[in-house]
């Protein structure tokens, strides 16, 4: 009877076969049937008694729901799972239009390496790999090994008596059997039975053949032999996922050690030949990375203050300096409370802005054709200047579009006044204009044009001669009838509206004049890098709102300096969020990263959270271009960060709470992600001497004096005159623990880098 009929009482009176005649029932059966009818409130008439007796004597039917039996569910499942159409051939099957064939491994390699089956699992092929592994009775395994060893030994003796010389393979097999047999007898290993089946799928015969060729090539490289299960394709369905019942039973005996090499159950070590030790992974293996071995040389480091990110960066700089004698490091420190101490300890140079140092944001250089550079940075530089000033003028009414247009015209004039023409790269070798030249261009527009400005002696004679040489002006100083290239019209023939906009713009440049807060940006660059390690202390701008402006200018300077430098150039920007919010600086960062390989220059961007790199598509692009990313402790992990890295709940919890944080744990920890090595957790450790070099509160000289009994430079040496003492705070290379000194000290003290202690950001 249909279960739905039973449930809803729709039983048919014509179902005679579902009744037991009352004459065939015993008295007890009749009594039980009546009691059953009373329980279900049905009249105990003849017809119902016969029906009830039948129901009570029926076999118990397993149910999966009130209206469905187990057998009915099984039939339904078969209809849902089984393919609607299926075609069989000796070597393949066609299921619902998809062609498949199953292979099995017939011979395993005699020697295996770690993860030798991994290339198959990561191959770009449509396949299903099924492994059947069962432990073997060790006594039986020992007997089989003994019998096989005896057979091999006997065969060797027989061949030797016949004078055969082709015994190498037999001897190797005998030695392997003896080694395995001894390990089994001593209990050092166990034996297992393994069967491997590989189901390949394709939409056509050609695709299936291509996949099969690809898989066989991969396995052949590992010395693995396979064969198609000819005339057993249908039976093989049970041996592969999802059934996996091994209906073929093509097993091989392998030992435990070989079985453990199928996959990389432990991640491969991270070791770049010319790399720097960053820390240790979860298995205490050193993590050695060379950023210059990646496709791009950029890195991004994020984490809260105190998480250890600055300490980690300093350790990388220090170790790179020990390894490479000619690398140039420049670190920009907006707070000025960390890296200056580090530089002074190593005899480096600290440049504190606010004095006579000048950085010219209008510096320009031609593309370097020798290294294949083709991008013209003229337009980017002009746009960067305009956007930089736009940021500065936000506090004084902003920069309306009309004033921005006047600013652009004045910038073009400034370059023309130095003989620099956009697109004519040979002119880029001329001295670049300064902000003062740009201000003069604005003044020219406000007074009514170049001619009037020349009459009022606002324009020097040099500018007039330069414009005549470019054939912009004729011999009389008038605008030439035809121009060899586009010129800024507002400079020579400004309208009244132009003059009005320029007049409104002039007062906004007061901060660039002598004595102004931005005077450091008005003049030719005079920064001389006299040390391998230079720290730019920007703390004088910390509370002025000028930090984005000065960092903008310094980014442009760093890019040009990297182009000029004959040696490897490594730049670090702390508080990189100042740079990520502006289009021109993002473009300049991406330009820096794209050409880093040409200049052999590295760029490191540091900020509080990874989310700051993912807020906008433009900042996202910068983050994508950083091949190395390090995530230290943060209070919360933004949803964008989780999605970007596909972080697991455990990794999120690690970053938010479990990541070691310097002072609290003696070392710091982070998630390291690189395009070459994937992602894993690492711990940042340093040796004792390194720790004294990197920690702002410790003195490496005191450590040397304590360990070696030497004399620190701050103490007069025996026989030294009173005036010969040199204070350790003086940035003098020969009297500070420079990189060569620290290398010698570390070697003398026999202090290799090891897991000891570190601290977080200072």
Q: Which domains does the chain carry? A: 3-79 (no CATH), 86-259 (no CATH), 296-355+527-714+728-762 (3.40.50.300), 358-526 (no CATH)
pLDDT at 657: 87
Spatial separation of the C-alpha atoms in residues 310 and 330, rounded to whole Å:
14
CB 670 within 8 A of CB 679: no
pLDDT at 440: 95
Spatial separation of the C-alpha atoms in residues 599 and 564, rounded to whole Å:
8
pLDDT at 662: 67
Length reported for the chain: 762
Coil, helix or strand at residue 190: coil
DSSP for 272-310?
A: -TT-EEEEEETTS-EEEE-GGGSSS-EEEEE--TTSSHH
Q: Where are the beta strands (DSSP E) in 75-169?
A: 86-88, 93-95, 98-107, 127-135
pLDDT at 396: 63
pLDDT at 225: 92
pLDDT at 226: 93
Measured CA to CA in angstroms, residue 205 lies from 91, 128, 199, 643 at distances of: 11, 18, 14, 38
Measured CA to CA in angstroms, residue 267 lies from 119, 218, 484, 542, 604 at distances of: 14, 21, 63, 44, 27
- Which ranges of the chain have pLDDT less than 70? 1-17, 58-70, 72, 76-84, 264-267, 354-355, 369-374, 395-397, 662-665, 710-762
Spatial separation of the C-alpha atoms in residues 583 and 588, rounded to whole Å:
9
Spatial separation of the C-alpha atoms in residues 446 and 570, rounded to whole Å:
43
C-beta neighbour count of 224 within 10 angstroms: 19
pLDDT at 515: 83
Instruction: Indicate yes or no: pTM above 0.75.
Output: no
Q: Which run of H or of E encompasses 599?
A: helix 596-599
C-beta neighbour count of 506 within 10 angstroms: 14
């Amino acid at each position: 009877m249909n279960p739905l009929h039973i449930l809803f009482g729709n039983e048919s009176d014509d179902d005679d076969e579902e009744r037991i005649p009352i004459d065939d029932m015993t008295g007890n059966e009749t009594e039980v049937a009546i009691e059953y009818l009373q329980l279900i409130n049905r009249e105990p008439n003849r017809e119902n008694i016969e029906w009830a007796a039948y129901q009570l004597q029926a076999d118990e039917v397993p149910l999966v729901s009130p209206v469905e039996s187990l057998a009915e569910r099984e039939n339904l499942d078969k209809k849902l799972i089984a393919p609607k159409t299926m075609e069989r051939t000796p070597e393949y099957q066609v299921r619902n239009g998809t062609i498949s064939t199953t292979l099995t491994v017939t011979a395993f390699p005699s020697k295996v390496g770690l993860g030798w089956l991994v290339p198959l699992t990561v191959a770009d092929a449509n396949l299903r790999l099924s492994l059947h592994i069962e432990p073997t009775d060790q006594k039986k395994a020992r007997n089989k090994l003994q019998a096989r060893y005896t057979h091999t030994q006997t065969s060797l003796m027989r061949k030797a008596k016949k004078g055969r010389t082709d015994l190498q393979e037999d001897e190797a097999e005998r030695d392997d059997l003896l080694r395995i047999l001894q390990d089994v007898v001593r209990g050092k290993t166990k034996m297992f039975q393994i069967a491997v089946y590989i189901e390949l799928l394709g939409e056509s015969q050609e695709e299936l053949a291509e996949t099969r060729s690809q898989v066989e090539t991969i396995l052949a490289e590992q010395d693995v032999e396979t064969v198609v299960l000819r005339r057993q394709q249908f039976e093989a369905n049970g041996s592969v996922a999802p059934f996996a019942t091994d209906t073929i039973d093509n097993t091989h005996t392998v030992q435990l050690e070989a079985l453990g090499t199928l996959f990389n159950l432990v991640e491969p070590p991270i070791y770049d030949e010319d790399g720097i030790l960053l820390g240790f992974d979860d298995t205490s293996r050193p993590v050695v990375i060379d950023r210059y071995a990646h496709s791009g040389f950029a890195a991004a480091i994020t984490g809260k203050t105190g998480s250890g990110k600055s300490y980690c960066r300093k350790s990388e700089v220090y170790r790179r300096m020990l390894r490479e004698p000619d690398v140039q490091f420049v670190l920009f420190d907006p707070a000025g409370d960390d890296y200056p101490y580090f530089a002074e300890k190593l005899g480096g140079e600290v440049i504190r802005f606010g004095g006579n140092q000048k950085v010219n944001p209008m510096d320009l250089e031609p593309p370097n054709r020798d290294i294949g550079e083709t991008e013209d940075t003229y337009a980017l530089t002009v746009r960067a200047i305009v956007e930089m000033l736009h940021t500065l003028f936000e506090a004084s009414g902003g920069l309306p579009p009309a004033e921005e247009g006047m600013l652009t015209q004045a910038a073009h004039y400034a370059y023309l006044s130095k003989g620099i023409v956009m697109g004519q790269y040979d002119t880029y070798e001329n001295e670049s204009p300064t902000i003062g030249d740009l201000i003069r261009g604005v003044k020219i527009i406000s007074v009514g044009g170049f001619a009037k400005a020349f009459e009022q002696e606002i324009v020097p004679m040099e500018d007039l001669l330069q414009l005549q040489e470019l054939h912009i002006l004729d011999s009389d100083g008038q605008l030439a009838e035809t121009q060899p290239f586009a010129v800024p019209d507002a400079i020579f023939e400004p309208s009244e509206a132009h003059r009005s906009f320029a007049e409104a713009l002039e007062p906004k440049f007061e901060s660039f004049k002598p004595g102004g807060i931005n005077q450091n940006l008005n003049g030719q660059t005079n920064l001389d890098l006299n040390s391998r390690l230079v720290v730019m202390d920007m703390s004088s701008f910390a509370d002025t709102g000028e930090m984005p402006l000065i960092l903008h200018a310094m980014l442009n300077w760093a890019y040009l300096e990297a182009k000029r430098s004959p040696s490897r150039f490594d730049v670090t920007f702390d508080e990189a969020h100042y740079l990520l919010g502006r289009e021109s600086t993002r473009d300049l960062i991406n330009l820096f990263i794209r050409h880093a390989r040409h200049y052999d220059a590295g760029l490191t961007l540091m900020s509080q959270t990874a989310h700051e790199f993912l807020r906008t598509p433009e900042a996202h692009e910068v983050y994508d271009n950083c091949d190395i990313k390090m995530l230290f402790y943060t209070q919360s992990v933004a949803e964008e960060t989780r999605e970007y890295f596909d972080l697991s709940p455990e990794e999120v919890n690690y970053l938010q709470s479990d990541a070691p944080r310097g002072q609290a744990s003696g070392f710091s920890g982070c998630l390291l992600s690189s395009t070459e090595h994937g992602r894993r957790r690492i711990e940042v450790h340093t040796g004792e001497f390194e720790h004294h070099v990197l920690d702002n509160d410790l003195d490496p000289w005191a450590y040397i004096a304590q360990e070696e009994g030497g004399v620190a430079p701050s103490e007069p040496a025996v026989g030294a005159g009173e005036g010969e003492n040199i204070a350790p705070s003086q940035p003098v290379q020969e009297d500070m623990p420079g990189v060569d000194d620290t290398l010698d000290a570390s070697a003398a003290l026999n202090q290799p880098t090891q897991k000891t202690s570190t601290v977080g950001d200072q």
